[in-house]
Amino acid sequence: MVQKMISTRYQVVFYAENAYYFQYFCHLFTNLQERKIKICYITSDANDPVFALRNENTDVVFSKSTLAFAFSRIQAEVVIMTMPDLDRFIIKKSKQVKKYIYVFHAMVSTHQQYRSHAFDHYDAILMAGPHHQRELREAEEMYKLPSRDLIPYGYPLLDDLSERLFAVQRMEGQVLIAPSWYEEGILQTCIHEIVEGLSQTSHKVFIRPHPEFIKRNKTSFKKLLAKTREHSGIQIDTNPSLWNSLLSSDWLVTDRSGIAFEFAFVKKRPVVFIDTPPKIQNPEVDRFSNQPVENLFRDQLGFRLPPSSASEVGTAIHQLAFSMEKYSDSIEQVRKEVLYPSSNNNNAVDYILKQLE
């Protein structure tokens, strides 16, 4: 199948690092498939649900060990990816591709949690919100980059989640702990204190360790498993789909993860932030004039708790429960600041179709 993939010229190629990323492509994939566009969907996950969506116009290819070989030989009008750092490491651009398009899988800013120059080699970027346009144009000016096509797109996943919200049973008082993965995050610093604090409450708790934490910190993960076994109301959630636990929960506890935006915007409820140090992948972040949105709006989206007080997360939730109305307007205001309206979603489809003319 890989040989067919590199010998065929497709109109559109998608690449997903694992099954989790299909949800970010779903809006584009569905719209293009309905138009009978010739699509190749490459996935590095043998269990990707996209295999069930193959048809006469859509090839689905599993590629992992041969990925670098295949990618440099792709023939397509458009390649769409959620993977930053294109053409900088293993994955190289093919000269037989007209446009490489990036889709965001988080609403966070472009210049703090991503590496420097992470988006330089994309020809077009589908922006979640106005902050992305400001940041990307500033990067072009700062690094003397050619102007890229920046498409106001939004974040169609939010609409999908909002629709699913009514089909998922809400578990009153349930807490979801969904941290980012980095050395100074919750999982590496204060998760045991959080577990101990919540064990003293009546809340049912689900912890979703980042997959990279499980893979790279096996000893720490085993210790966390052992800790949760001491408390019947606290469980580890490794389900491939995050969204059922997010939609059924009343409270989210996180550190620097972009999931805070998704939870607040869909559930319209405040977030408990453990104020771990910022997750900085780009040492040049301070050169930018635009402050990263994941730093800027924490107070408007919820309550911040220092890591030294992580065991008091149950008290923080109790306080938030009595101040819900305070956050209603501020969450909506932040949504307008960091997200294009859903009416922009079809801009991306129109742009892609134009490349196929």
**Does one domain contain both 150 and 168?**
no
167 in the same domain as 97 = no
Q: How confident is the model at residue 215 (pLDDT cuts 50, 70, 90)?
A: confident
Over pLDDT 90: what percentage of the chain? 90
For residue 277, give the DSSP letter.
P
In angstroms, the CA 301 to CA 258 distance is 12
CA 322 to the chain's CA centroid: 30
pLDDT of 1 above 80: no
For residues 134 and 210, membership in a common domain is answered with no
315 with 181, same domain? Answer: yes
pLDDT of res. 354: 98
Structure tokens at 48: 């990707």
Note whether 150 and 72 are same-domain residues.
Answer: yes
Q: For the chain, give the number of residues.
A: 357
User: Exposed, middle or buried: residue 354 (CB in 10 Å: 0-12, 13-18, 19+)?
Assistant: exposed
- Same domain? 124 vs 259: no
Q: At 293, phi and psi to the nearest 5?
A: -65, -30
Residue pLDDT, tens place only, 133-185: 999 999 999 999 999 999 999 999 999 999 999 899 999 999 999 999 899 99
Question: CATH number for the domain including 264?
Answer: 3.40.50.2000
Same domain, residue pair 219 and 309: yes
Return d(Cα 45, Cα 63) in angstroms, integer: 8
Residue range of the domain that includes 67: 2-155+341-355
Question: Which pair of structure tokens corresponds to residue 242?
Answer: 């995050």
Asked if residue 214 and residue 322 are part of one domain, the reply reads yes
Asked whether residue 132 falls in the same domain as residue 166, the answer is no
Banded model confidence at residue 240, pLDDT cuts 50, 70, 90: low
pTM as predicted: 0.94
**pLDDT tens, 99-147?**
999 999 999 999 999 999 999 999 999 999 999 999 999 999 999 999 9
The answer to whether residue 205 scores a pLDDT higher than 70 is yes
Looking at residue 132, which CATH number applies to its domain? 3.40.50.11720
Say whether both 135 and 203 belong to one domain: no
pLDDT-derived band at 238 (thresholds 50, 70, 90) equals: confident
Same domain (yes/no): 101, 9: yes
Mean pLDDT taken over the chain: 95
User: What is the Cα–Cα distance from 314 to 200, expressed in whole angstroms?
Assistant: 8
Q: How many domains does the chain have?
A: 2
Quick one: 211 and 141 in the same domain? no
Residue 342 has pLDDT above 80, yes or no: yes
Residue 12 has pLDDT above 80, yes or no: yes
